[in-house]
Structure 1
Amino acid sequence: MKIVIIEDELLIANDLSQTLREIHPEIEIQALLPSVELAVQFFQTFPTVDLIFSDIELEDGFSFEIFKSVKINTPVIFCTAYDAYALEAFKANGVEYILKPFSKTLLEKSLKKFESLRHSLNESLSRQYKATTEALEAYQKKTVSTLMVRYRNQLIPISFSKIFLIYIENDLTYIYTTQHQKYVVPNTLDEMESKAGESFFRVNRQFLVNRNSVRETHHALYRKLSIVFTFDFNREVLVSKEKTSKFISWLSQ
């Protein structure tokens, strides 16, 4: 069986590749592709493989952009950090998915499902891809619900609902969770703002604040607001005067 893995996290891609070969030693990994651009180039040259394992969010876009650019008649199993609720929209369309962090058992089940359906899949793949991409694009416009965080040798899924603060410190982007854990993330604050959704507010150039983290506010100098959090935090966080009225309106929602 010839398989392509589309994944921009090298650790995950190598782990997936190794686990698949442990399940079926006859599996051939044709390519590990970290981006939309490289995947499009690959499938323009090598269009025929048996199965694709693909992440949804890649370093240069979303994987469904690949299927818009190149005609692919190969089943896809998505390996993703999106929550199960979001994925129900396209699960019904016959495209399989497994949630990160995945296990060997889940991979075995997915491969068995693929084997049982592979002879009946090809005719309906175009319709399935179209329905899948439409569902994911609609969901993406709302919010990404889960963030994958690298910590030591682990990848930890953290829901945005479990994040109190997202902020910049010493030119690095951090998240501070409801479990009072602090993690570095590779994204810029602008990128995190686009992912976080309406539960977060960009109070200034350095801080994104979760509504549930705010206990109260006080007036500060120069018509700014000082935020008092529901937890101890050793830095003063101010709402810029240009954003105070919008912040109060957002907080009252």
Structure 2
Amino acid sequence: MNIAIIEDEILTQEDLAEMIGRAGKEIHIVAVLGSVRAAIEFFRQQRAVDLVFSDIQLGDGLSFEVFRSTPVTAPIVFCTAYDEYALDAIRSNGIEYILKPYTQEAITSAIEKYRRLKEHFIPRQPDFEMLIRAVTGDKTLQKPAGSILVYHRDKILPVSLEEIALFYVDNECTHLHGFNGANYLVNQALDELEQLSGNLFFRINRQYLVNRRAIKDANHYQHRKYVVNLSIHFKEVLVVSKNRTMGFLQWLTL
């Protein structure tokens, strides 16, 4: 496995290279690039690598300039002290976002993620776009169902997905909240609804599955979390869980 490092601090370069090397005997550090300029020159020479570990804020600019300027097709693990670049990381082939100071466990976990994804996806689709979709939760290949059956008094009613703002779990029961303010009980688990709804909805945490049309915007909340502001009235505050943030931001850009 050939890996390139983009990092401008010498001590961090050494620490990162050492941690990466501990993750497997087959790993080779083929380049350590200390600036945006050096990285652009490296990739413009069509140097092939399997994986890139990259800092974001470098002495001569942001590393995103590298990936906008050159055809880097390898997936990228971003290692940074800042958490506000998650969306840009996704747009730049990012498969992991590690905050400094990082640990051996975090570095090894990122490499293991790459190995698993390569093993499962590359033989069927030799394209990192598919790999990135798997990491970020992109569901564009899924065809959504047309309607959901709900229970209201003594009736069973079909409700179009387009009319549903969100699904949520309350007291171990699944409900839907419509754009018209109506609430109904649904006899399906949130996991099943997530599969049926395609890319029209996104599972922001274990409790909520939200329609894209119901989202007005999102605010940075805490450490790698976001609060979702809805275009409709809803009594609860919706927070995107940390492990779903990258997928959520990617989904918003579709």
Q: TM-score, structure 1 length as denominator?
A: 0.46
Higher helix share: 1
Identify the structure with bigger relative contact order (alpha carbons < 8 Å, sequence gap 6+): 2
